[in-house]
Amino acid sequence: MRLTCVECPMGCEIEVEVSDGKVLSVKGNTCPRGKAYAENEVICPRRVLTTSVRSADGKMVSVKTAFPIKKSETFAVMEKINKITVTAPVKIGQVVCENISEDINLIATSNLND
């Protein structure tokens, strides 16, 4: 499997050899972050989820997961997020929901004033 590492702007082309769901070798990465990225990408890909939640008065607040979540959990996490309502004030960086997936929090990426 060929991947382009997205961990930094260098964008190294990485080749991963996989058999029976196990990583046999990783080539092309120029640092350990690339190896970890490639291993995770083929075994259990993860992404930061960015979206928005509604406030009690109908405004929207942008949010994201504080760390990447499993891609396979995206729909389940979105179902949880769609049930969340926030109340102003909300500050950037504020935890909107603890442990939205595993032990990862959902945090605000925009302010909502009173």
Residues forming contacts to ligand SF4 in the complex (CB under 6 A) are 5, 7-8, 10-12, 29-31, 33-34
Question: Which residue's beta carbon is nearest to the bound ligand SF4?
Answer: 34
Radius of gyration for the chain, computed over Cα atoms and rounded to the nearest angstrom = 18
Q: Shortest Cβ distance from residue 30 to ligand SF4 (Å)?
A: 4
Q: What's the min distance (Å) between Cβ of 31 and ligand SF4?
A: 3
State the minimum distance, in angstroms, from the CB of residue 97 to ligand SF4.
30
Contacts of 84 (CB under 8 A, 6+ apart): 53, 54, 96, 97, 106
Q: How far is CA 60 from CA 24, 55, 84, 88, 98, in A?
A: 45, 6, 11, 11, 19
Integer angstrom CA distances of residue 9 from 4, 16, 38, 40: 10, 20, 15, 19
Residue with the two structure tokens 């970890």 = 36
Nearer to ligand SF4, 5 or 104 (CB): 5
Please, which residue, 67 or 92, has the CB nearer to ligand SF4? 67
CB of 20 to ligand SF4, least distance (A): 25
Of 31 and 92, which CB lies nearer to ligand SF4 in the complex structure?
Answer: 31
